[in-house]
Structure 1
Amino acid sequence: MQRAGRENCSMPENTTGKKVIVLDDDPDVVRVLKIVLDKEGYDVQPVTSPEAAVEALAKAGADLVIIDMDTKKLDLQNFIRSASEAGSLDIPLLLLAGSEEDGIGALRGFAGTAEVLPKPVSKGDLVDRMRLLLGQRRSTWRLERT
């Protein structure tokens, strides 16, 4: 797993139009995140289920996927596998988790680019992490056998 860090990636000059899928099973949360991120210039696709996120990836792709780890029926490894099978192989993940340890544990075996952001999340922290992830060189999603 690669971790984004301020010391090893550049901030993109322009994030306008970058496609972001936001996955959370709470419609109010995805609506608020869409409003906030739209104002930052992102093209946001809000979804409320892992299946809808995979479908959105297959149809239109994305530059980044934000996932609330408390989403019901979310099995992160199955989500990654399904997204990979749908042809979405090089998209970084930003996980919103109860703690950084929870998110890192969920990423065991994930070899793509990812960041974990502990909740509650401030707008500034969210946007900063998004810019870091979007500025990194792309890598591929794959599950390693453990």
Structure 2
Amino acid sequence: MKENSKVAEAIIALEKAALDRWYKGDPYGYLEMYDEQDLSYFDPAKDKRLDGHSNMKAFYDSIKGLVHSEKYEILNPLVQVSKDTATLSYNLVAYVAKDVHRWNSSSVFRLNENNEWKVIHTHWSFVRPMDMTFDPDKQVV
């Protein structure tokens, strides 16, 4: 268990370092965390999954310098470790001018041959109320 807590601390530190850069307009802290050979990414601003490091770089090139926040908070971080993989999930609150942005985030990390934790999948979504209601008399799925 002690080893898992060290992994959790390391992964959360990586995420915080990337977020510090992100909210200063520099998305490349995340790009450096991503596995260069195996990466998938869901973003609420995109209508489909982005695959591959080069596609992420192109996306980040398009938003470089645009994202800024004076303050953010990582809430409820959880790192689940299993051998050479770990999953980080948390809620993010970012204060952007007079707005408060709330996000859900999850990332799957894999330990590579250089003993570095690299992201192979990440998923971001907005925290918001469900935009549909379900009829209790109808089957949902």
Structure 2 length normalisation: TM-score? 0.24
Structure 1 or 2: larger helix share?
1
Structure 1 length normalisation: TM-score? 0.24
Structure 1 or 2: larger strand share?
2
